[in-house]
Chains A and B, each alone.
Chain A
Amino acid sequence: MDYKKKTVILAGIALALTLLYILFDLKGNIGYILPRRIIKVLAIVLTGGAIAFATTVFMTITNNRILTPSVLGLDSLYMLIQTFIIFVFGSNSIVMMNSSINYLMSILIMILFSLVLYRFLFKGEKNNIYFLLLIGMILGTFFNSFTSFMEVLIDPNEFMVAQDRGFASINNVHKDLVYLSIGIIILALLYFWRFYKYLDVLALGKDDAVNLGVSYDYVVKRLLIIVAVLTAVATALVGPITFLGLLVVNITYEFLKTYRHFYIILASVFIGIIALVGGQFIVENIFTFQTTISVIINFIGGVYFIYLLLKENRSW
């Protein structure tokens, strides 16, 4: 079976799971439940797709399979923003309660942060993508420490709210935010279209890309902005969830066995959707909301990586 067929099959599974999620056990007030389920599944699909997309592009730019966009410090920044709001305004404040304000503010700060970081790092001639990662990690750690610091100071009840924000949750996403996210993602994709052809070449590494005529800094900087926007949208929508990307992209490469990004990106988006929609389905219908999607994904991810380790081990 070649990678094209596999991609089509993944698309089929993603669609089937989405429909299953929407239609499963649909009874009672359908006019009320159905639109809510559709909005929710849209949010899940957007998140899974955006994270898979961003992680694929990020891993290609950095030529690795281990680092995800979380090293750019966006998850940590998100947590810092949330904790800071609770710290200053309290968990009952309008900023915390009104999800639109919170969403817009989080996205804006995360994107601004990325732009400033990139501008700062790409200014000199000696820019280096690994330096960017290093700075991202250091800032991420700093944000984490600062978050912990504020958490220690606030009221224990507020602390619970802050902690809760650390887990991705898809249970009360507002429909306006979903529409807004769709808009932002479409814009990002339109912008991405001009750079898509470079990904295969970038995967060869910087020197080969330059040799083949890619304006490396120009292209990489813009791709990084797209990565930041997609990550920010997904994070603001449901919470820190970039760990999903690590799992999804590795499975995609393992499964597709091709380097063609057209298919890699599509397949990883489908796998992202399958993982999240499937995970959420399990959370709702098997665990009846007793656990969160983060836990499920982490569990599956952990098992998968142990499998990878064992498999690699055998081939030595």
Chain B
Amino acid sequence: MVEVKNLLKTYNHKTVVDDVTLKIEKGTMTSFIGPNGAGKSTLISIITRLIAKDSGDIQIDGKDVLKTDSNELAKKISVLKQSNSINLKLTVRELVSFGRFPYSKGKLTKEDEKQIDEALEYMELTDMENKFLDELSGGQRQRAHIAMVIAQDTEYIFLDEPLNNLDMRHSTQIMKILRRLVDELGKTILIVIHDINFASCYSDNIVALKDGKIVKQGRACDVIDACVLKELYDMDIEIQQVGDKRICVYY
């Protein structure tokens, strides 16, 4: 369980994360939505110890994140940042292998190789595993980064806008894979996502953020609501029921 209490972060007198309190159950997929600058990335980065908080309390499975050994934590939580720019001459497979570092410290075992193979297969990257990252398209590179996080094989997975640069097929495919990770392997996934229809269709819970504050959190069907979305995005969004899915029409 991820528990965040009264989290606060200020940059130059601007409060970016404003008294956020959250509880994320194990084995669920939670989407974070909200306009640009709402503080989603900052929140995710603070929970995953990439950025220091000003005040508040973060516990994962009852343990304070900042007091947990960093390497142990790396076997429990993994995070994919919003923008990834690596300027090393790396092949796809080498990048994905880095996901095993918390376990093997660079000396890959058979088990590591197996996990790497699986992650590559999941992301349909097996046939380009020996290509260099700078020879790939933006979407392929993004998938390689996701594969690295999958290879890290953690209980909790944080993804900041992982669908960046992806076409429809791959977006859908990745959301399905994430769903499978939750349903079949019991992983807990926290994902920042802009397409509210993906959030609506694939996640169990949604947290809506604006100006650093939580506007609403709850089950996906409760948050995907015309009133909530109007408050969030300042625009009228019509919601239609298609089968068992709630689809937002905002064009």
- Stretch of A89-97, A202-210, A278-286 lying at the B interface: A202-210
Secondary structure of the B contact surface, majority rule: loop
B50 touches A211 (CB 8 A): yes
A213 touches B88 (CB 8 A): no
Q: Which residues of B are found within 8 Å of A197, using beta-carbon distances?
A: 105-106
Interface string of A197-230 (1 = CB under 8 A from B): 1001101111110111111100000000000000
Q: Which residues of B are found within 8 Å of A215, using beta-carbon distances?
A: 70-71
Q: Which residues of B are found within 8 Å of A214, using beta-carbon distances?
A: 70-71
A125 touches B49 (CB 8 A): no
Given contacts A204-B86, A205-B86, contact A126 B75 (CB under 8 A): no
B105 touches A210 (CB 8 A): no
Of B45, B75, B84, which one neighbours A213 at CB under 8 angstroms? B75
A204 vs B86: C-alpha distance when bound (angstroms): 6
A119 at the interface (CB under 8 A from B): no
Task: Give the interface residue-count category, chain A.
Answer: 20 to 34
- Stretch of B94-102, B109-117, B205-213 lying at the A interface: B94-102
A197 vs B71: C-alpha distance when bound (angstroms): 13
A262 vs B161: C-alpha distance when bound (angstroms): 34
Given contacts A204-B98, A259-B88, A259-B94, contact A210 B52 (CB under 8 A): no
A210 touches B89 (CB 8 A): no
Secondary structure of the A contact surface, majority rule: loop
A101 vs B240: C-alpha distance when bound (angstroms): 83
Size of interface on B: residues with Cβ below 8 Å to A: 29
Q: Which residues of A are found within 8 Å of B74, using beta-carbon distances?
A: 211-213
Please indicate which of the listed interface residues A203, A212, A215, A259 has the most CB atoms of chain B within 10 Å of its own CB. Answer: A212
Q: Which residues of B are found within 8 Å of A253, using beta-carbon distances?
A: 89
Interface string of A113-137 (1 = CB under 8 A from B): 0000000000001100000000000
Question: Which partner residue on chain B sits nearest A207 by CB separation?
Answer: B50
A257 touches B102 (CB 8 A): no
Q: Which residues of B are found within 8 Å of A125, using beta-carbon distances?
A: 52
A211 touches B79 (CB 8 A): yes
A203 touches B88 (CB 8 A): yes
B90 at the interface (CB under 8 A from A): yes
B26 at the interface (CB under 8 A from A): no
B70 touches A213 (CB 8 A): yes
Q: Which residues of A are found within 8 Å of B106, using beta-carbon distances?
A: 197, 200-201
A247 vs B85: C-alpha distance when bound (angstroms): 24
A residues sitting closer than 8 Å to B (CB atoms) are 63, 125-126, 197, 200-201, 203-208, 210-216, 253, 257-259
Considering the complex of A and B, which 4 residue pairs feature the smallest CB-CB distances, nearest first?
A213-B74, A213-B71, A213-B102, A259-B88
